[in-house]
Structure 1
Amino acid sequence: MAWIFSLSAEIGSDEKSAIIFAGYFQWLTYIDYKTRQYQCRVDTFRDIENNWWCRVYPNNISEVGIDHPKTAGLMTELGNLLYEHLHSVNLLCEDKGFLFPFRYALVGVEVDEFRTYSELIEDLPNLSIPGLVLSTELTQGLETLSGFQEFSSGYIWQPYKGEVYHPSMALQT
């Protein structure tokens, strides 16, 4: 079983918005980190609630999850780069007068479909997931969410803390 490290974003029910989101990341053929380039892939899919997701993932990073502290460090650095790309695309869209078409996003291992929309809304008042980026439209009517700060116009997030190596988890793979 392969474990995919990715930036995964839930777009909503509009397939066209998922295609637009994916299109912004199609140009990201490689992520440069130190002296290596990591080829990126982008795909879209529907979840069990018929909402569209986009997954952006550096290929061949790990097929077994985080099996070593160096793997965690590499994934953390690549995760930071994926968030930078997400942030810069948001700024580009803001300059053009529209919001980027996603409702929430997260970087990590096996984060695609980490919460369906209805699960996220149910958990929202008590949600604590470092790296989670939320559209402020989802949080309207809620008091300020603990630990969240501005990510870009129209989005808030809990800052990304990186990936962590857990030796006990490595033994289970």
Structure 2
Amino acid sequence: MAWTFALNAECGDRETHARDLARHFDGWPAGVFSSAGAWWCGVAPEGLSPNGAHTDEEAAAMTAAGRRLYWLLRIAPPVYRYALAGIQTDRFRSYDELMAEKDLTIFPGLVVAEDIWIRTGKRAEFSDFAPGYRWLPYRGESRR
């Protein structure tokens, strides 16, 4: 089983939003898929271990890719509702599952639209990310 590192962003019920976001990541392997009634944009950098981070070098490479992906997401069109980079984030949570989650702080790197942040309790651990978005700062990957 592959343990792919990627950034995945949920774009609601608009396929065009997911495609617009994928285009923003020009030069990166980006794709669009549908899951649980929502459209997602996934960006999976090439050249990273398909088996997770088993060495310090693999973790460092994934962390560098994650930081770059978040930087690009910060300047992306505001067409997504939430996003997360890491290993196996392609089916992270449906919107309803995310909204039902009691403690979103267990997902370092989670970026949420301002309305999600408000509706889930305005947790102080979230900080500004981009206009209209809040996030739990990304800590990077570690050896597993």
TM-score (structure 1 length as normaliser): 0.78
Task: Work out whether residues 18 and 39 of structure 2, in 8 Å CA contact, stay in contact via their aligned partners in 1.
Answer: yes
Q: Does 1:127 align with 2:104?
A: yes
The one of 90, 94, 103 aligned to 2:81: 103
Q: Does 1:79 align with 2:66?
A: yes
Equivalent pairs counted in the alignment come to 143
Moved more, 137-146 or 113-122: 137-146
- State the SS of the aligned residue for 1:83: helix
Shift of the 140–147 alpha-carbon distance from structure 1 to 2, 3 Å rule, reads: closer
Shift of the 74–156 alpha-carbon distance from structure 1 to 2, 3 Å rule, reads: same
Q: Does 1:70 align with 2:57?
A: yes
Work out the CA distance in 2 between the residues paired with 1:151 and 1:116: 21
Work out the CA distance in 2 between the residues paired with 1:63 and 1:161: 20
Work out the CA distance in 1 between the residues paired with 2:114 and 2:9: 15
Task: Work out whether residues 126 and 137 of structure 2, in 8 Å CA contact, stay in contact via their aligned partners in 1.
Answer: yes
Q: Does 1:18 align with 2:18?
A: yes
Task: Work out whether residues 99 and 120 of structure 2, in 8 Å CA contact, stay in contact via their aligned partners in 1.
Answer: no
Instruction: Quote how far apart the aligned CAs of 1:155 are.
Output: 0.1
* One-letter amino acid matched to 1:113: R
Paired position in structure 2 for 1:112: 90
Greater Rg by CA: 1
Instruction: Quote how far apart the aligned CAs of 1:23 are.
Output: 1.4
- State the SS of the aligned residue for 2:44: strand
Instruction: Quote how far apart the aligned CAs of 1:142 are.
Output: 4.6
* One-letter amino acid matched to 2:127: Q
Work out the CA distance in 2 between the residues paired with 1:118 and 1:144: 18
Work out the CA distance in 1 between the residues paired with 2:87 and 2:121: 30
Identity of aligned residues (%): 36
Q: Does 1:144 align with 2:131?
A: no
Shift of the 50–142 alpha-carbon distance from structure 1 to 2, 3 Å rule, reads: closer
User: Which runs of 5 or more structure 2 residues have no equivalent in the other structure?
Assistant: none
Work out the CA distance in 2 between the residues paired with 1:59 and 1:76: 14
* One-letter amino acid matched to 1:152: A
Q: Does 1:44 align with 2:17?
A: no
1:28-77 CA distances to partner (integer Å, 9 max, x unpaired)?
Answer: x1xxxxxxxxxx31101011x21011001111311111111110011111
